[in-house]
Amino acid sequence: MQSLGVTGGAGLAYGALSTLGLAPATAQVPFRSPAMGDLIGKAGSGASVVILGGGPAGLCAAYELGKAGYDVTVLEARKRPGGRVWSVRNGTTETDLNGETQTCTFAEGHYFNLGATRIPQGHITLDYCRELGVEVQPFGNQNANTLVNYQSATPISGQSVQYRAAKADMYGYLSELLQKAASRGALDDVLTGDDKEALASFLRDFGDLSSDGRYLGSTRRGYESEPGAGLNFGDQRKPFAMSDTIRSGLGRNFSFEFGYDQAMMMMTPVGGMDRIYTAFQRAIGNDRIRFGAEVSALRNTPGGVRVEYTRDGAKQAVDADYCICTLPPNLVGRLATNLPADVLTALKAAVPVSSGKLGIEYSRRWWELEDRIYGGATNTDKDIAQIMFPYDHYHGERGVVVGYYNTGKRHQAFESLTHRQRLAKAVAEGSAIHGEKYGRDIASAFSGSWRRTRYSEGAWVGWSGSDAHGGVATPEYTKLLAPVERVYFAGDHLSNAIAWQHGAFTSARDVVTALHARVAA
Amino acid sequence: MQSLGVTGGAGLAYGALSTLGLAPATAQVPFRSPAMGDLIGKAGSGASVVILGGGPAGLCAAYELGKAGYDVTVLEARKRPGGRVWSVRNGTTETDLNGETQTCTFAEGHYFNLGATRIPQGHITLDYCRELGVEVQPFGNQNANTLVNYQSATPISGQSVQYRAAKADMYGYLSELLQKAASRGALDDVLTGDDKEALASFLRDFGDLSSDGRYLGSTRRGYESEPGAGLNFGDQRKPFAMSDTIRSGLGRNFSFEFGYDQAMMMMTPVGGMDRIYTAFQRAIGNDRIRFGAEVSALRNTPGGVRVEYTRDGAKQAVDADYCICTLPPNLVGRLATNLPADVLTALKAAVPVSSGKLGIEYSRRWWELEDRIYGGATNTDKDIAQIMFPYDHYHGERGVVVGYYNTGKRHQAFESLTHRQRLAKAVAEGSAIHGEKYGRDIASAFSGSWRRTRYSEGAWVGWSGSDAHGGVATPEYTKLLAPVERVYFAGDHLSNAIAWQHGAFTSARDVVTALHARVAA
């Protein structure tokens, strides 16, 4: 079994080879941080780097370069680190681009992540949590007790069905159908007798089929009343009919939990995803990060870079040897720059995606008390798309439910609403799924739309006109992977894990490696 | 959507009806604790109940009766509460029935649950955690990064395959085969055109099929090297061949995670399952629990019960109005009793199941560092059956892995071994799956076999000769649901959740309800 580790190894050596064209650019490179000793006695010792943006890419780059003694300066427009990693809690105040100001009044200790909220086991985000001492806990990304609720031309339309029931029926009928086809000989050109025997054995178990190969329901569906002691065998829920199950599309979201970056176990920092960035901030040092610094100009100069910014109403400038620009690509074009026209065109090819969340603080954990839900999400084809249940404060008195996390058109339905209207729409749709209790015991709420959020104006970008999370080797994307003289671009938008912190970190590491190799050369 | 709640409601009223034969005995009864006011002025006020066994059933019964002012006395042979709920930690000492003594030397804060370790969302065990203030956390019961490793007559035999890869391939080929059969018209007698269209749409997504309906691998399988930034699209792992995938039986354990009582999310108390029983102990009061009390006799007397026991070498006795016997059914026959012969015969029909666990403390969390596993279990057809990874101390320096949790023949292979031999066998089998690192960095270990554990002599019981967890309406089982004069039987063995705390609790509640109704009458 191959190790999945992506850390460790000799990054600098490879980086040097890579810039000489001796190593394939697409190979997996184990990253090694630049180290203090690498440049001793070299001309580049103590090179200065100005980093635009204090989100995941910017802070990761500053942190890694700092290890080797680079003179780094991070300029961040917001008053907090993390960028689109934003944990909203008591006291969080934001005025959005609609002009509306919200202030969060959640009870102490409660929060929700308006941006990134979960970490797959394979992502180097977890390595940074370990390295920076950020405590992690499981994130409920799958739950048999959460609900699906979809419209269809079947009697199931608009019904709230537990995932466990939807899965049992779908897998049951799927198994029954395949077993029937195989036993009829319909697949004899592709299945041997041994294959058929092994398949039948799998399907019996996978679909919970009867001895004659039929799906007649399953304890996996759940019970009207739970089995207990004595002769209380529970009151098993009846399955839906086969045709209704299939045509209702109950299984349309099953594959989510097999996804490479969504399959359990998933993790998240205790207390909020932004804990990673306050930890980065501590490790980098406050003297190296200027918050409230709105960058206005970025120029290559002879032998360096010059960045202008406004802070507390005053124009200021930083001159440095290099710049790493991690600003959203859609915002770079607004700066005064001397970047070439083809670079500016390439930046415009990154199209901001519409997405956002609404956090609803309830003073009663009805999802535990009544629906017996401990984390995970309910899915629907309504505009809210999903309802995400908290993965903390189990059995507490209150909790924050994410009333929607949606993208594209379904988020746009909320984007231009006032916060109060968003809450009303979310509660109406949520009540149609979880019942009247969804509208009761609401203590407070907070919402955000990334396209209407200053300094971001997008949740992430799509290179191909979609909201897909993969990088693409288009000329525009590829163009931005190379530095423009002394200006480097980094961010999740230049990775194959767009919208993931992992993408921002790997991009930052690539740039750090390339920059360090250049300085060392 | 129906609420799944099983608590609350009017237990006493129902209990009274039930004893009069006016309510069906098998109906789901919302439980209501006996309350202090129920018996005011009644003859039974202050009735005394002696409870044999301080495990889940015994402590639950004592707790619930205590609420109504019953004079309860719990006799527990062990020096700790919880019975088969046993969290092994630093200082735990046990001499087993093989005569071997082990003392646990795990680092402070580390433990494993040698008995019950997980709680499904639907079980009333969680309600007791809430009521008693026992903090809970998610239990990793499913993980795409853990491994399967099985013998077969295919090239996959003995290979360690990540669950995510096994699932992707199995679901991919399953989908391809069913799509092929359906598009050939082989199922036209059971599928309409609409059905087929909806099914095709589901299968494309579920199996990650190509546009022409074939499974050609999937990102869901994982990568040799993780996708990163720039043009690093990752190095996708190739799928196994269809026939090999099917015949290897890679999918034999997939249904585990759909099981009614195993599907995520699963929960567990922070710090050990025994926290529930130290909380019960506090709530009941130490003055009402006699630890180290080995019961030797149980007799109905005119108007009461008499229980004899040995404590600190001294013979003692308790006289009470009623007795609730929660001892393992296989041990009751050894007491001096005046129970009728048919009851003693019925108790013998409960056959103890062989099961146990081995906890291995590692001083390095290789499963996180190298295999990127954060909880969940590896499955195999070797004797160890499974390797369970810790759900706590993430990113810490050390952790306790459960090196086996197995039942029946596969556990019997360990039962008569010395602890040192068990560890050696477990490490040999585990190393064949997770590699040589499995044998390194072992700091200590502790093992237990329930059939060789004093006061239990079984992990749980099977009524039908199997290790199934369901109650059965056999004459023997049914016989024990009724009291013998003033002696009641309770325990998970008299429930439809055998081996689960839920079973013990529901059984205890049934007995408490029946006893209280009798006293109130």
Interface list for A 421-480 with B (CB within 8 A): 434-435, 470-471, 473, 478
Tell me the HSE value of A58 on the side-chain side, using a 13 A CA sphere: 28
CA distance A454 to A452: 6
End-to-end, the C-alpha distance of chain A in Å comes to 37
- Is-contact B434 B378, C-beta < 8 A? yes
CA distance A165 to B484: 41
List of chain A residues whose C-beta atoms are within 8 Å of the C-beta of residue B510: 228-230
B447: phi then psi, degrees, rounded to nearest 5: -135, 155
DSSP B239: P
pLDDT at B28: 53
Paired tokens of B324? 């609730």
CA distance A108 to B289: 39
- Among residues B387, B174, B243, B195, the alpha carbon closest in space to that of A254 is found at B174
Angular region, B305: left φ>0, alpha ψ -120 to 50, beta rest:
beta
The minimal CB distance from A4 to the residues B3, B254, B371 is found for B371
- Is-contact A469 A498, C-beta < 8 A? yes
Would you call B228 and A254 a contact, using CB atoms and an 8 Å cutoff?
A: no
User: Is the pLDDT reported for residue A16 higher than 60?
Assistant: no
Q: pLDDT band at residue B226, thresholds of 50, 70 and 90?
A: confident
Q: pLDDT band at residue A447, thresholds of 50, 70 and 90?
A: very high
Each as own residue / partner, the long-range contacts of residues A206-210 (CB below 8 Å, 24 or more positions apart, any chain) are: A206/A171, A206/A175, A206/B251, A206/B254, A206/B255, A207/A171, A207/A172, A207/A173, A207/A174, A207/A175, A207/A176, A207/A179, A208/A168, A208/A171, A208/A172, A208/A175, A208/B255, A209/A172, A209/A175, A209/A176, A209/A179
A71: phi then psi, degrees, rounded to nearest 5: -90, 90
- Among residues B460, B462, B452, the alpha carbon closest in space to that of B500 is found at B460
Paired tokens of A41? 């006695």
Peptide bond connecting A388 to the previous residue in cis, omega within 30 degrees of 0: no
Least confident interval from B81-85, B163-167, B231-235, B507-511: B231-235
A68: phi then psi, degrees, rounded to nearest 5: -100, 10
Task: Tell me whether A370 touches chain B (CB under 8 Å).
Answer: yes
pLDDT digits (tens, 9 = 90+) for A173-187: 999 999 999 999 999
- Among residues B163, B166, B178, B189, the alpha carbon closest in space to that of A251 is found at B178
Q: For B12-38, what is the mean pLDDT? A: 55
pLDDT at B22: 38
Would you call A1 and B228 a contact, using CB atoms and an 8 Å cutoff?
A: no
User: Is the pLDDT reported for residue B9 higher than 70?
Assistant: no
User: Is the pLDDT reported for residue B463 higher than 60?
Assistant: yes
- The maximal CA–CA distance of chain B, rounded, in angstroms, is 86
Paired tokens of A408? 């594209």
pLDDT digits (tens, 9 = 90+) for A392-445: 999 999 999 999 999 999 999 999 999 999 999 999 999 999 999 999 999 999
CA distance A51 to A28: 25
User: Is the pLDDT reported for residue A238 higher than 70?
Assistant: yes
The minimal CB distance from A507 to the residues B178, B229, B434 is found for B229
DSSP A149: E
Question: Does B226 or A306 have the greater pLDDT score?
Answer: A306
User: Is the pLDDT reported for residue A26 higher than 80?
Assistant: no
Contacts of A86 (CB under 8 A, 6+ apart): A80, A113, A114, A115, A274, A448
User: Is the pLDDT reported for residue A24 higher than 80?
Assistant: no
- Is-contact A80 A291, C-beta < 8 A? yes
Paired tokens of A338? 């001397």
Q: Of A223-227, B21-25, B230-234, which one has max mean pLDDT?
A: B230-234
User: Is the pLDDT reported for residue B20 higher than 60?
Assistant: no
Question: Does B510 or A5 have the greater pLDDT score?
Answer: B510
CA distance B468 to B110: 31
Q: What is the 3-state secondary structure (H, E, C) of B188-223?
A: CCCCCHHHHHHHHHHHHHHHCCCCCCCCCCCHHHCE
Task: Tell me whether B391 touches chain A (CB under 8 Å).
Answer: yes
- Among residues B231, B229, B205, B228, the alpha carbon closest in space to that of B218 is found at B205
CA distance B155 to B149: 12
pLDDT at B257: 96
The three-class DSSP label of residue A136 is: strand
The minimal CB distance from A234 to the residues B147, B232, B496 is found for B496
Task: Tell me whether A95 touches chain B (CB under 8 Å).
Answer: no
Chain mean pLDDT for chain B: 93
Task: Tell me whether B227 touches chain A (CB under 8 Å).
Answer: yes
Least confident interval from B5-9, B146-150, B305-309: B5-9
Contacts of A319 (CB under 8 A, 6+ apart): A48, A301, A304, A305, A306
DSSP A107: P
pLDDT digits (tens, 9 = 90+) for A45-78: 789 999 999 999 999 999 999 999 999 999 999 9
Give this prediction's pTM.
Answer: 0.94
CA distance B316 to B451: 28
User: Is the pLDDT reported for residue B499 higher than 50?
Assistant: yes
pLDDT at A25: 40
With b for 16 or more beta-carbon neighbours within 10 A and e for fewer, the B426-460 pattern comes to bbebbebbbbebbeeebbbbbbbbbbbbebbebbb
- Is-contact A438 A444, C-beta < 8 A? no
- Among residues B513, B359, B355, B499, the alpha carbon closest in space to that of B56 is found at B499
Distance from CA of A171 to the nearest CA of B (A): 10
Q: Which residues pair with A34 in a beta bridge?
A: none
Q: For B30-58, what is the mean pLDDT? A: 89
DSSP A229: B
CA distance B502 to B127: 10
CA distance A268 to A270: 6
CA distance A201 to A207: 10
The minimal CB distance from B168 to the residues A206, A258, A509 is found for A258
Chain mean pLDDT for chain A: 93
CA distance A220 to B255: 9
pLDDT digits (tens, 9 = 90+) for A467-517: 677 778 889 999 999 999 999 999 999 999 999 999 999 999 999 999 999
Residue B362 identity: Y
pLDDT at B46: 85
Q: Which residues pair with A289 in a beta bridge?
A: A74
CA distance A514 to A487: 12
End-to-end, the C-alpha distance of chain B in Å comes to 37
- Is-contact A407 A450, C-beta < 8 A? no
Sign of CA dihedral B445, B448, B449, B453: positive
Distance from CA of A177 to the nearest CA of B (A): 7
Q: For B106-123, what is the mean pLDDT? A: 98
The distance of Cα B405 from the centroid of its chain, to the nearest Å, equals 11
- Is-contact A169 A248, C-beta < 8 A? no
pLDDT digits (tens, 9 = 90+) for B322-351: 999 999 999 999 999 999 999 999 999 999
Least confident interval from A83-92, A219-228, A326-335: A219-228
ipTM summary value? 0.94
User: Is the pLDDT reported for residue A1 higher than 50?
Assistant: no
Would you call B395 and A29 a contact, using CB atoms and an 8 Å cutoff?
A: no
Distance from CA of B78 to the nearest CA of A (A): 25
Looking at chain A, the whole-number percentage of residues with pLDDT higher than 70 is 94
User: Is the pLDDT reported for residue B491 higher than 80?
Assistant: yes
Instruction: Pick the residue from chain A with its C-alpha nearest to B182.
Output: A181
pLDDT at A467: 63
Sign of CA dihedral A418, A421, A426, A429: negative
Question: Does B210 or B31 have the greater pLDDT score?
Answer: B210
Task: Tell me whether A132 touches chain B (CB under 8 Å).
Answer: no
The minimal CB distance from B28 to the residues A170, A194, A225 is found for A225
List of chain A residues whose C-beta atoms are within 8 Å of the C-beta of residue B186: 181, 184, 186-187
Q: pLDDT band at residue B466, thresholds of 50, 70 and 90?
A: low
- Is-contact B520 B42, C-beta < 8 A? yes
- How many CB pairs below 8 Å do chains A and B form together? 365
The minimal CB distance from B1 to the residues A147, A186, A494 is found for A147
User: Is the pLDDT reported for residue B288 higher than 80?
Assistant: yes
The distance of Cα A442 from the centroid of its chain, to the nearest Å, equals 26
pLDDT digits (tens, 9 = 90+) for B100-110: 999 999 999 99
pLDDT at A30: 78
CB atoms within 10 A of CB B185: 11
